[in-house]
Chain A
Amino acid sequence: MGLGKFLVKRTLQGLFVIWGVVTVVFLLRHLTPGNPVNTLLPPEASQEQRELFAERLGLNDPVHIQYYDYLVGVAQGDFGVSMATGRPASELILIRLPATIELAVAATVVAVVIAIPLGVISARRRHEPSDYGATIFSLVGISTPNFWLGVMLIIFVAVQFGPLPTGGRGPSFVDAMIATLTQGQFRDGGIVEWGRYILLPAITLGTYFTALLTRLTRSGMVDEIGKAYVKATRAKGLPETLVLYKHVLRNTLIPIITVLGLQLGTLIGGAVITEEVFAWPGLGRFLIHSIYQRDWVLIQGTIIVIGVGFVIVNIVVDALYVYLNPKVDLE
């Protein structure tokens, strides 16, 4: 099966999943106690005003009509209008999406860049001090709660050393790249400034992930290094770097990619705590605030966007499997 056909098939399956997400999200509102009208209007609003308000939100229609309207709206990219601010939900969500994606990707990059070499070294020098060091690091990393780590980084790094801010977000990655590439601007509005803001949140979010990946890489490599082809590859005289990275690591990547995909999906929606600690204006923080405000339209929209993110990441992961393991067919 060709890649194009595979993508079409998986996209159709993905649409089905997203339809499920939309349905559940829609039903949740109707299963939860509390009337949005009472939440949003001040207590002294008159009965007339309440009815008018419900009418405007479409709350008086039968449920199946409301469901149909909502589905049609979502299909057109219209998640409704924020109850609190009156602005379109899709607009509010989309402006926060880049921040979240940036943070999730940065955390993943931090994790991959640290974890994979660490895991390889650890597997290669089994039962030597560097291996024990890596093992201790991953144990500590896995058991450190990231709200604590974030606060500690703020206190001991950001506050002590000037260059790294305690929170907030600099320019967006795209803007920073443009500024750097077109105007040669690194600091103000450039890539360095972008990096200053994202570094600590990315470390905070990526630490658990780094630790997990280190362990996965190590155990995968240890299994793989014992295989006969490794000896055969060494017998050819191939440089050890290539033996380890091109041959052994490549075959270890299959389970790593699986976890990577699942985690990246989680990071899109689950960076809530890190975003809160660092006042990072992303989707997670937005979701929390929408929940505080009982802004159902925004909550629904955010969850659907996160769901779409999950689906896309999973399609990409499946396509990567085929690249990594020639025995897997695109089916």
Chain B
Amino acid sequence: MSDEELLRIEGLCTRFFTENGQVNAVENLDLTIDEGEVMGIVGESGSGKSVTALSLIDLVESPGRITDGRIWFRAPDIADELIESGADDEVTDGDFVDLRKLSEEQRRSLRGSRFSTIFQDPMSSFNPSITVGEQIAEAVEVQRRARANPRSLDAKAQRYGLGDYVLSTVLPSKKYVTGASRDRAVELLELVGIPDPVERADEYPHEYSGGMLQRAMIAQALAGEPEVLVADEPTTALDVTIQAQILDLLSKLQAETGMTILLITHNLGVIARMCDRVGVMYAGEIVERGTLEDVFDHPVHPYTRGLLGSVPDLEGAGGRLQPIPGNVPSLLDHEMPDRCYFADRCPKAMDECLEHPPAFDVEGSEYHTTKCYLATTEYTEEKALPDGYFDEAGRAADVGEEPSETETGIGTGTDSETETETEADSVQSDGGEPR
């Protein structure tokens, strides 16, 4: 593991513009990832982990959009090329390129080759009517064509139009996927430990088991020999024994290829097993980050402590688990208070928490920071906010509105489901003056 930065995310904001209002799925997120490390992001459902991953690979779908921030990616070759073509400091910074400033085509050319993704549910992440081998071969082919055309970013984003596709249905020589790519797909299947890869390559996804298919997805992600592998809940849909196998496979492949992994999960066990560093996400921001040791052994943020307290401990079995009370807050913009987002669930909420905390450095490694006033202030009984403070404060703030019962923010996907009434709605339903 080298200590060189590979990715530097600054102030990333990803928002969803829904009928119920603006949802701040990712809010002002800073993150750096070093080359060759395994970076973990952990948090409850709806904390914005998956949206962070999608933002990174530019696959946030409507009504979502990255609204602000920069995603600096170290790619000297691209930086040189951009500087030659007259790009300014806005786009490049030394060897780094701001991915958000690239064109759509250029960003697509990075997918697969620099960034690969493993998705949560392998069963739904393969096209059911195309063989697994063919789908992996496509990923190989994307990269083969990109390498055959090394001159410029634009050339790499190969154009394959409707005309080519229509022709390919008649002329085998026009087919997108070549025989060489198919052979490589079989090799990849073998690499991830699928028995009889030649036969399995010609089978369809429904003929695979979940674990097998997740292996196949890893094979597909490896097709382009990516620098960064984004693994979005790679083991969540699998049963426990298979989970361990998949994690072992990922570790082994990471050791062999030296690729960087961004691992997104809600499972602290997975983090402990895989990661070098970890960021804890809550309500769209990283509330604490540090090395594995910092976060697991010296957590500062009460949310991190809460997460650790909800993990079953076999050695101290018998004691009850300590769940974190309450739910992930609404991420609707107009319902997000200007305070620490966790304060209403925090056992140590105090006067300071009514102001949104910046990131404080805390003891441990130099990377250990937290967005919590406990880093600087000692918690005392006098400062504590009274019990039920936020219930009343919430009511006081929402005059004329029904008590907010929002529990859903963002799901693991990109669809946001919010069940709140907007203010305009409630004004009308209260019989307000027609406008």
Say which residue of A235, A236, A327 sits within 8 Å of B128 (CB atoms): A327
Do A237 and B161 touch across chains, with their CB atoms under 8 A apart? no
Asked if B296 is an interface residue, CB under 8 A from chain A, the answer is no
List of B residues within 8 angstroms of A242 by Cβ: 138, 160, 165, 176
Q: Identify the stretch in A246-254, A265-273, A288-296 within 8 Å (CB) of chain B at 4 or more residues.
A: A246-254
Is A232 an interface position by the 8 A CB rule? yes
Which residues of chain B in 39-68 are interfacial with respect to chain A, using CB atoms and an 8 Å cutoff? Answer: 57, 59, 61
Residues from chain B with Cβ under 8 Å of A246 in the complex? 130, 165, 176
Q: How far is the CB of A235 from chain B (nearest CB, A)?
A: 4
Q: Is B16 an interface residue (CB 8 A)?
A: no
The complex places the Cα of A251 from the Cα of B205 at a distance, in Å, of 14
Instruction: Indicate if the CB atoms of B57 and A232 lie closer than 8 Å.
Output: no
Is A236 a contact partner of B142 (Cβ separation < 8 A)?
yes
Interface string of A287-314 (1 = CB under 8 A from B): 0000000000000000000000000000
A327 contacts which chain B residues (CB < 8 A)?
A: 128-129, 204, 206
Interface string of B136-163 (1 = CB under 8 A from A): 0011001100100000000000111110
Verify if A129 is at the interface (C-beta below 8 Å from B). Answer: no
Which residues between 209 and 262 of chain A lie within 8 Å of chain B, taking CB atoms?
227-229, 231-242, 245-247, 250-251
B214 within 8 A of A: no
**A237/B224 in contact, CB under 8 A:** yes
Indicate if B124 sits at the interface (CB-CB under 8 A).
yes
Interface size on A, residues (CB 8 A): 25
User: Could you tell me which residues of chain A, from 19 to 33, have a CB within 8 Å of some CB in chain B?
Assistant: none
Cβ proximity bits A105-135 to B, threshold 8 Å, 1 near / 0 not: 0000000000001000000000000000000
Which B residue sits closest to A323, measured CB to CB?
A: B129
Q: Does A324 contact B (CB under 8 A)?
A: yes
Which of B106-114, B284-292, B361-369, B393-401 is the contact stretch? B106-114
B130-A237 in contact (CB<8A): no
Q: Across the interface, do B164 and A241 meet the contact criterion of CB distance under 8 Å?
A: yes
Task: Evaluate contact between B119 and A232: CB separation under 8 angstroms.
Answer: yes
Smallest CB-CB A-B distances: 4 pairs: A237-B112, A237-B111, A228-B124, A239-B160
- With a cutoff of 8 Å between Cβ atoms, the chain A residues found around residue B59 in the complex are 231, 234-235
- Does B276 have its Cβ within 8 Å of any Cβ on chain A? no
Interface residues of A (CB under 8 A from B): 117, 227-229, 231-242, 245-247, 250-251, 324-327
Q: In the complex, what's the smallest C-beta–C-beta distance from A248 to chain B, in angstroms?
A: 9
Complex CA–CA separation, A233 to B111 (angstroms): 10
Q: Which residue of chain B has the shortest Cβ distance to A250 in the bound complex?
A: B129
- Minimal Cβ-Cβ distance residue in B for A231: B59
- Contact between B127 and A247 (Cβ–Cβ < 8 Å)? yes
Q: Which chain A positions have C-beta within 8 A of B135?
A: 233
Name the residue among B119, B217, B223 with the largest chain A CB count within 10 angstroms: B119
Q: Is the CB of A117 within 8 A of B127?
A: no
Q: How large is the interface on B (under 10, 10 to 19, 20 to 34, 35 or more residues)?
A: 35 or more
- B57: chain A residues at CB < 8 Å are 235
Residue contacts A-B, CB under 8 angstroms, 15 given: A227-B124, A233-B138, A236-B111, A236-B142, A236-B223, A237-B109, A237-B110, A237-B224, A238-B142, A239-B159, A241-B165, A246-B130, A246-B176, A247-B130, A251-B128
- CB-based contact B142/A237 at 8 Å: yes
Shortest CB distance A88–B (Å) = 40
Q: Determine how close the nearest CB of chain A comes to the CB of B28; give it in whole angstroms.
A: 25
B265 at the interface (CB under 8 A from A): no
- B residues 93-115 near A (Cβ < 8 Å) are 108-113, 115
A117 to B161, CA, bound (A): 13
A236–B119 Cα gap in the complex (Å)? 12
CB proximity of B111 to chain A, nearest CB, Å: 4
Given contacts A228-B119, A228-B121, A327-B206, contact A236 B139 (CB under 8 A): yes
In the complex, chain B residues 186-232 whose Cβ is within 8 Å of any chain A Cβ: 204, 206, 217, 220, 223-224
Chain B residues whose C-beta falls within 8 Å of the C-beta of A117 in the assembled complex? 162
Partner of A239, one of B61, B139, B158, B224: B158
In the complex the two chains form, what is the Cα distance from A246 to B129 in whole Å?
10
Q: Is the CB of A237 within 8 A of B121?
A: no
With known contacts A229-B127, A235-B112, A247-B127, A326–B165 Cβ distance under 8 A: no
A250 to chain B, nearest CB (A): 6
Contacts of A227 in B (CB 8 A): 124
Give the residues in chain B near A231, CB-CB below 8 Å. 59, 61, 119, 125
Docked pose: A169 CA to B113 CA in angstroms: 57
**4 other A-B residue contacts (CB within 8 Å) besides A237-B139, A240-B108, A250-B127:** A228-B119, A231-B125, A233-B135, A325-B129
Decide yes or no: A229 and B126 within 8 Å by CB, A237-B111, A237-B224 being known contacts.
yes
Instruction: Please tell me if B416 contacts chain A, counting CB pairs below 8 Å.
Output: no
B129 / chain A contacts, CB cutoff of 8 Å: 250-251, 324-327
- Please tell me if B330 contacts chain A, counting CB pairs below 8 Å: no
B420 at the interface (CB under 8 A from A): no
How many Å lie between the Cα of A175 and that of B421 in the bound state?
A: 69
Q: Tell me, in angstroms, the Cα distance from A246 to B131 when the chains sit together.
A: 13
Greatest chain A CB density within 10 A among B57, B108, B121, B126 is at B108
Q: Does B117 contact A (CB under 8 A)?
A: yes
B206-A326 in contact (CB<8A): yes
Residues 382-408 of B, flagged 1 when their CB comes within 8 A of A and 0 if not, give 000000000000000000000000000
User: Please, which residues of chain A bring their CB within 8 A of the CB of B126?
Assistant: 229, 232
